[in-house]
Structure 1
Amino acid sequence: MPVLNAHLQHRPASAEDLHEVVRFPQDADELFFAYPKASWPLTVGQLAAAMAERRGSTVALLDGKVAGFANFYQWQHGDSCALGNMMVAPWARGQGVARYLIEAMEHQARTQYKAKVMKVSCFNANAGGLLLYTHLGYQPRAIVERQAQDGRRVALVQMDKPLMD
Protein backbone atom coordinates (compact mmCIF):
# COMPACT_ATOMS: atom_id res chain seq x y z
CA MET A 1 0.00 0.00 0.00
CA PRO A 2 1.34 3.51 -0.71
CA VAL A 3 2.56 5.49 2.27
CA LEU A 4 -0.35 7.29 3.87
CA ASN A 5 -0.32 11.05 3.34
CA ALA A 6 -3.42 13.12 4.01
CA HIS A 7 -2.55 15.36 1.06
CA LEU A 8 -2.05 12.55 -1.49
CA GLN A 9 -4.57 10.22 -3.09
CA HIS A 10 -4.79 8.34 -6.38
CA ARG A 11 -7.44 7.10 -8.77
CA PRO A 12 -7.75 5.75 -12.30
CA ALA A 13 -6.96 8.41 -14.90
CA SER A 14 -9.86 9.74 -16.96
CA ALA A 15 -10.01 11.42 -20.35
CA GLU A 16 -10.70 14.72 -18.56
CA ASP A 17 -7.35 14.44 -16.73
CA LEU A 18 -5.34 14.43 -19.95
CA HIS A 19 -5.70 18.18 -20.53
CA GLU A 20 -3.85 18.72 -17.25
CA VAL A 21 -1.30 15.92 -17.64
CA VAL A 22 -0.06 17.09 -21.07
CA ARG A 23 1.22 20.24 -19.35
CA PHE A 24 3.50 18.29 -16.96
CA PRO A 25 6.58 17.93 -19.23
CA GLN A 26 8.31 21.31 -19.34
CA ASP A 27 10.53 20.66 -22.36
CA ALA A 28 11.36 18.04 -24.97
CA ASP A 29 13.88 16.33 -22.68
CA GLU A 30 11.34 15.85 -19.88
CA LEU A 31 8.87 14.46 -22.39
CA PHE A 32 11.53 12.09 -23.77
CA PHE A 33 12.20 10.78 -20.24
CA ALA A 34 8.49 10.07 -19.65
CA TYR A 35 7.34 9.06 -23.14
CA PRO A 36 10.18 8.60 -25.66
CA LYS A 37 7.87 7.89 -28.60
CA ALA A 38 5.93 11.14 -28.17
CA SER A 39 6.64 14.34 -30.09
CA TRP A 40 7.10 17.68 -28.36
CA PRO A 41 4.83 19.23 -27.26
CA LEU A 42 2.77 16.44 -25.73
CA THR A 43 -0.83 16.49 -26.90
CA VAL A 44 -4.02 15.01 -25.52
CA GLY A 45 -4.18 12.80 -28.61
CA GLN A 46 -0.72 11.33 -28.03
CA LEU A 47 -1.45 10.66 -24.37
CA ALA A 48 -4.90 9.20 -25.12
CA ALA A 49 -3.26 6.82 -27.62
CA ALA A 50 -0.76 5.72 -24.96
CA MET A 51 -3.57 5.15 -22.46
CA ALA A 52 -5.47 3.05 -25.01
CA GLU A 53 -2.58 0.62 -25.53
CA ARG A 54 -1.38 0.53 -21.92
CA ARG A 55 -2.91 -0.58 -18.63
CA GLY A 56 -3.46 0.88 -15.19
CA SER A 57 -3.32 4.59 -16.09
CA THR A 58 -3.43 6.32 -12.73
CA VAL A 59 -3.31 9.90 -11.49
CA ALA A 60 -1.98 11.07 -8.16
CA LEU A 61 -3.85 13.93 -6.53
CA LEU A 62 -2.15 16.44 -4.25
CA ASP A 63 -4.73 18.34 -2.23
CA GLY A 64 -7.32 17.24 -4.79
CA LYS A 65 -5.42 18.50 -7.86
CA VAL A 66 -4.00 16.19 -10.54
CA ALA A 67 -0.29 16.12 -9.73
CA GLY A 68 1.09 12.90 -11.21
CA PHE A 69 0.43 10.30 -13.90
CA ALA A 70 1.73 6.80 -14.62
CA ASN A 71 0.73 3.51 -16.24
CA PHE A 72 2.09 0.11 -17.25
CA TYR A 73 3.51 -0.36 -20.73
CA GLN A 74 4.07 -4.07 -20.10
CA TRP A 75 2.10 -6.39 -17.86
CA GLN A 76 2.42 -10.14 -17.50
CA HIS A 77 -0.03 -11.63 -15.05
CA GLY A 78 1.80 -13.52 -12.31
CA ASP A 79 5.18 -12.20 -13.42
CA SER A 80 5.94 -8.49 -13.84
CA CYS A 81 4.71 -5.03 -14.72
CA ALA A 82 6.76 -2.24 -16.29
CA LEU A 83 6.11 1.35 -15.19
CA GLY A 84 5.65 3.91 -17.94
CA ASN A 85 4.68 7.52 -18.65
CA MET A 86 5.73 8.53 -15.12
CA MET A 87 5.20 12.31 -14.87
CA VAL A 88 4.75 14.84 -12.06
CA ALA A 89 3.34 18.34 -12.41
CA PRO A 90 6.00 21.04 -12.06
CA TRP A 91 4.15 22.73 -9.18
CA ALA A 92 4.00 19.42 -7.27
CA ARG A 93 7.64 18.33 -7.57
CA GLY A 94 9.59 17.76 -4.38
CA GLN A 95 6.42 16.98 -2.39
CA GLY A 96 6.49 13.18 -2.48
CA VAL A 97 4.14 12.76 -5.45
CA ALA A 98 6.48 10.54 -7.50
CA ARG A 99 7.26 8.28 -4.56
CA TYR A 100 3.58 8.00 -3.65
CA LEU A 101 2.54 7.26 -7.23
CA ILE A 102 5.27 4.65 -7.75
CA GLU A 103 4.18 2.91 -4.54
CA ALA A 104 0.54 3.04 -5.68
CA MET A 105 1.55 1.48 -9.01
CA GLU A 106 3.55 -1.22 -7.19
CA HIS A 107 0.43 -2.01 -5.13
CA GLN A 108 -1.67 -2.16 -8.29
CA ALA A 109 0.89 -4.47 -9.96
CA ARG A 110 0.78 -6.82 -6.95
CA THR A 111 -2.98 -6.85 -6.48
CA GLN A 112 -4.36 -6.67 -10.02
CA TYR A 113 -1.63 -8.48 -11.96
CA LYS A 114 -0.13 -10.66 -9.19
CA ALA A 115 3.23 -9.31 -10.33
CA LYS A 116 6.29 -10.47 -8.47
CA VAL A 117 8.55 -7.80 -10.01
CA MET A 118 8.15 -4.16 -11.03
CA LYS A 119 10.39 -2.97 -13.84
CA VAL A 120 11.37 0.62 -14.60
CA SER A 121 13.56 2.13 -17.28
CA CYS A 122 15.27 5.48 -16.83
CA PHE A 123 17.49 7.42 -19.21
CA ASN A 124 21.02 8.28 -18.10
CA ALA A 125 20.37 12.04 -18.20
CA ASN A 126 17.44 11.72 -15.78
CA ALA A 127 19.49 11.91 -12.59
CA GLY A 128 16.44 12.69 -10.45
CA GLY A 129 14.66 9.58 -11.69
CA LEU A 130 17.70 7.34 -11.27
CA LEU A 131 18.21 8.56 -7.71
CA LEU A 132 14.54 8.16 -6.81
CA TYR A 133 14.25 4.64 -8.20
CA THR A 134 17.39 3.46 -6.40
CA HIS A 135 16.15 5.11 -3.18
CA LEU A 136 12.92 3.10 -3.56
CA GLY A 137 14.85 -0.17 -3.88
CA TYR A 138 15.16 -0.60 -7.64
CA GLN A 139 18.36 -2.28 -8.80
CA PRO A 140 20.00 -1.76 -12.21
CA ARG A 141 19.84 -4.93 -14.35
CA ALA A 142 20.96 -3.73 -17.79
CA ILE A 143 21.99 -0.68 -19.74
CA VAL A 144 20.84 -0.58 -23.34
CA GLU A 145 21.63 1.88 -26.08
CA ARG A 146 18.81 4.03 -27.40
CA GLN A 147 18.68 7.01 -29.70
CA ALA A 148 17.36 10.41 -28.66
CA GLN A 149 15.08 12.23 -31.07
CA ASP A 150 18.00 14.37 -32.22
CA GLY A 151 20.02 11.26 -33.02
CA ARG A 152 22.28 11.30 -29.94
CA ARG A 153 23.21 8.02 -28.30
CA VAL A 154 21.68 7.67 -24.85
CA ALA A 155 21.76 4.94 -22.24
CA LEU A 156 18.54 3.46 -20.92
CA VAL A 157 19.08 2.00 -17.45
CA GLN A 158 16.72 -0.94 -16.91
CA MET A 159 15.96 -1.58 -13.25
CA ASP A 160 13.68 -3.82 -11.28
CA LYS A 161 12.44 -4.47 -7.77
CA PRO A 162 10.87 -7.57 -6.22
CA LEU A 163 7.33 -6.87 -5.04
CA MET A 164 6.58 -8.27 -1.61
CA ASP A 165 3.08 -9.07 -0.42
Structure 2
Amino acid sequence: MPASDLQHRPAEAADLPAIVQFPQSAEELFYCFPRARWPLDVSQLASAMAERQDSTLILLDRRPAAFANFYQCQPGEYCALGNLMVAPWARQRGIAAHLVGLMEQRAREQHQARELRVSCFNGNSAGLLLYPRLGYQPYALVERQDWLGRRVALIQFSKALS
Protein backbone atom coordinates (compact mmCIF):
# COMPACT_ATOMS: atom_id res chain seq x y z
CA MET A 1 0.00 0.00 0.00
CA PRO A 2 1.46 3.38 -0.93
CA ALA A 3 2.24 5.54 2.08
CA SER A 4 0.34 8.37 0.37
CA ASP A 5 -2.90 6.43 1.00
CA LEU A 6 -2.25 6.50 4.76
CA GLN A 7 -2.39 9.27 7.33
CA HIS A 8 -1.13 9.27 10.89
CA ARG A 9 -1.59 11.30 14.03
CA PRO A 10 -1.34 10.98 17.80
CA ALA A 11 -4.00 8.63 19.15
CA GLU A 12 -6.74 10.37 21.16
CA ALA A 13 -9.26 9.21 23.75
CA ALA A 14 -12.00 9.34 21.12
CA ASP A 15 -10.10 6.69 19.08
CA LEU A 16 -10.02 4.10 21.84
CA PRO A 17 -13.43 2.47 21.20
CA ALA A 18 -12.30 1.66 17.66
CA ILE A 19 -8.78 0.53 18.62
CA VAL A 20 -9.97 -1.92 21.31
CA GLN A 21 -11.84 -3.78 18.55
CA PHE A 22 -8.62 -4.59 16.66
CA PRO A 23 -7.64 -7.77 18.59
CA GLN A 24 -10.02 -10.54 17.56
CA SER A 25 -9.16 -13.14 20.20
CA ALA A 26 -7.40 -13.60 23.52
CA GLU A 27 -4.42 -14.89 21.54
CA GLU A 28 -4.22 -11.77 19.35
CA LEU A 29 -4.56 -9.55 22.40
CA PHE A 30 -1.73 -11.42 24.12
CA TYR A 31 0.56 -10.80 21.13
CA CYS A 32 -0.01 -7.03 21.13
CA PHE A 33 -0.71 -6.35 24.81
CA PRO A 34 0.33 -9.30 27.03
CA ARG A 35 -0.73 -7.69 30.32
CA ALA A 36 -4.27 -6.93 29.16
CA ARG A 37 -7.29 -9.05 29.98
CA TRP A 38 -9.58 -10.33 27.22
CA PRO A 39 -11.61 -8.65 25.94
CA LEU A 40 -9.63 -5.43 25.62
CA ASP A 41 -11.57 -2.41 26.84
CA VAL A 42 -11.11 1.33 26.73
CA SER A 43 -9.94 1.60 30.35
CA GLN A 44 -7.11 -0.92 29.84
CA LEU A 45 -5.89 0.82 26.71
CA ALA A 46 -6.24 4.29 28.24
CA SER A 47 -4.11 3.18 31.20
CA ALA A 48 -1.43 1.84 28.87
CA MET A 49 -1.44 5.04 26.83
CA ALA A 50 -1.03 7.12 30.01
CA GLU A 51 2.11 5.14 30.91
CA ARG A 52 3.59 5.02 27.41
CA GLN A 53 4.90 7.47 24.86
CA ASP A 54 4.05 8.42 21.30
CA SER A 55 0.76 6.51 20.96
CA THR A 56 0.22 6.74 17.22
CA LEU A 57 -2.78 5.99 15.03
CA ILE A 58 -2.67 5.15 11.33
CA LEU A 59 -5.75 6.09 9.35
CA LEU A 60 -6.82 4.55 6.05
CA ASP A 61 -9.73 6.30 4.36
CA ARG A 62 -10.10 8.29 7.61
CA ARG A 63 -10.76 5.03 9.52
CA PRO A 64 -8.52 3.87 12.38
CA ALA A 65 -6.38 1.13 10.84
CA ALA A 66 -3.35 0.58 13.12
CA PHE A 67 -1.94 1.64 16.48
CA ALA A 68 1.39 1.46 18.32
CA ASN A 69 3.42 3.22 21.01
CA PHE A 70 6.68 3.03 22.93
CA TYR A 71 6.57 1.26 26.28
CA GLN A 72 10.11 2.30 27.05
CA CYS A 73 12.44 5.04 25.83
CA GLN A 74 15.97 5.76 26.92
CA PRO A 75 16.74 9.04 25.10
CA GLY A 76 19.93 8.83 23.10
CA GLU A 77 19.91 5.03 23.37
CA TYR A 78 16.78 3.09 22.38
CA CYS A 79 13.00 2.95 22.28
CA ALA A 80 10.93 -0.24 22.64
CA LEU A 81 7.87 -0.61 20.42
CA GLY A 82 4.67 -1.90 21.98
CA ASN A 83 0.94 -2.39 21.48
CA LEU A 84 1.34 -2.77 17.72
CA MET A 85 -2.08 -3.77 16.40
CA VAL A 86 -3.83 -3.58 13.05
CA ALA A 87 -7.58 -3.54 12.40
CA PRO A 88 -8.78 -6.85 10.91
CA TRP A 89 -10.11 -5.14 7.76
CA ALA A 90 -6.72 -3.43 7.19
CA ARG A 91 -4.42 -6.44 7.52
CA GLN A 92 -2.18 -7.78 4.76
CA ARG A 93 -1.83 -4.31 3.21
CA GLY A 94 1.61 -3.30 4.49
CA ILE A 95 0.20 -1.02 7.17
CA ALA A 96 2.14 -2.68 10.01
CA ALA A 97 5.41 -2.17 8.09
CA HIS A 98 4.47 1.45 7.45
CA LEU A 99 3.70 2.00 11.13
CA VAL A 100 6.98 0.39 12.25
CA GLY A 101 8.84 2.70 9.84
CA LEU A 102 7.00 5.70 11.24
CA MET A 103 7.85 4.66 14.81
CA GLU A 104 11.50 4.22 13.81
CA GLN A 105 11.47 7.81 12.56
CA ARG A 106 9.85 9.04 15.79
CA ALA A 107 12.39 7.18 17.92
CA ARG A 108 15.24 8.75 15.94
CA GLU A 109 13.90 12.29 15.70
CA GLN A 110 12.06 12.76 19.00
CA HIS A 111 14.14 10.58 21.32
CA GLN A 112 17.51 10.55 19.50
CA ALA A 113 17.35 6.76 19.78
CA ARG A 114 20.09 4.80 18.06
CA GLU A 115 18.10 1.55 18.24
CA LEU A 116 14.49 0.36 18.11
CA ARG A 117 13.60 -2.81 19.98
CA VAL A 118 10.61 -5.04 19.38
CA SER A 119 9.48 -8.27 21.02
CA CYS A 120 7.44 -11.02 19.42
CA PHE A 121 5.96 -14.20 20.86
CA ASN A 122 6.81 -17.49 19.16
CA GLY A 123 3.18 -18.08 18.10
CA ASN A 124 2.89 -14.75 16.30
CA SER A 125 3.84 -15.83 12.79
CA ALA A 126 2.92 -12.48 11.24
CA GLY A 127 5.29 -10.62 13.54
CA LEU A 128 8.06 -13.20 13.22
CA LEU A 129 7.93 -12.79 9.45
CA LEU A 130 7.59 -8.99 9.52
CA TYR A 131 10.42 -7.89 11.77
CA PRO A 132 13.33 -9.66 10.02
CA ARG A 133 11.98 -8.43 6.67
CA LEU A 134 12.26 -4.88 8.06
CA GLY A 135 15.88 -5.42 9.12
CA TYR A 136 15.42 -6.47 12.76
CA GLN A 137 17.81 -9.03 14.22
CA PRO A 138 16.99 -11.32 17.17
CA TYR A 139 19.18 -10.74 20.21
CA ALA A 140 17.46 -12.58 23.08
CA LEU A 141 14.95 -15.29 23.86
CA VAL A 142 12.98 -15.03 27.11
CA GLU A 143 10.58 -17.54 28.64
CA ARG A 144 7.11 -16.17 29.45
CA GLN A 145 3.65 -17.54 30.14
CA ASP A 146 0.69 -16.93 27.86
CA TRP A 147 -2.86 -16.03 28.91
CA LEU A 148 -3.53 -19.69 29.75
CA GLY A 149 -0.34 -20.13 31.78
CA ARG A 150 1.49 -22.10 29.08
CA ARG A 151 5.22 -21.67 28.46
CA VAL A 152 5.99 -19.51 25.44
CA ALA A 153 9.08 -17.88 24.01
CA LEU A 154 9.41 -14.12 23.63
CA ILE A 155 11.90 -13.30 20.88
CA GLN A 156 13.51 -9.88 21.27
CA PHE A 157 14.66 -8.08 18.14
CA SER A 158 16.55 -4.85 17.56
CA LYS A 159 17.46 -2.62 14.66
CA ALA A 160 20.06 0.13 14.53
CA LEU A 161 18.52 3.43 13.50
CA SER A 162 20.60 5.55 11.15
TM-score scaled to structure 2, two decimals? Answer: 0.98
Paired with 1:4 and 1:88, the residues of 2 have a C-alpha distance of: 16
Q: Tell me, yes or no, if the aligned pair for 1:9 and 1:61 is still in contact at 8 Å.
A: yes
Match of 2:53 in 1: 55
- Amino acid across the alignment from 2:20: V
What secondary structure, in the 3-state scheme, does the structure 2 residue paired with 1:20 have? helix
Question: Which of the residues 21, 24, 33 maps onto 1:23?
Answer: 21
Equivalent in the alignment of 1:89: 87
Deviation larger for 60-69 or 115-124: 60-69
Residue-by-residue CA offset, 1:61-86 (whole Å, 9 max, x unaligned): 11221100000000000000000000
Write out aligned runs for 1:69-88 (5 A). Answer: 69-88=67-86
TM-score, structure 1 as length reference: 0.96
| Counterpart AA for 1:39 | R
Q: Aligned partners of 1:16 and 1:130: how far apart in 2?
A: 31
Structure 2 unaligned residues grouped into runs of 5+? none
Matching residue of 1:116: 114
The count of aligned residue pairs is 162
Whether contact under 8 Å (2:79, 2:117) holds in the other structure is: yes
Identity %: 59
Q: Which residue of 2 aligns with 1:65?
A: 63
Q: Determine if contact 1:62/1:97 at 8 Å carries over to the other structure.
A: no
Distance 1:21 1:15 in 2: 10
Structure 2 match to 1:35? 33
Once the 2 structures are TM-superposed, how far is the Cα of residue 4 of structure 1 from its aligned partner? 5.8
Q: Secondary structure at the match of 1:26?
A: coil
CA distance in 1, matches of 2:60, 2:81: 20
3-state SS, counterpart of residue 6 of structure 1: helix
1:136 to 134, 138, 155: 134
Higher mean C-alpha deviation, range 34-43 or range 61-70: 61-70
Amino acid at match of 1:152: R
Instruction: Mark the runs of 5 or more structure 1 residues left unpaired by the alignment.
Output: none
Determine helix, strand or coil for the equivalent of 2:103: helix
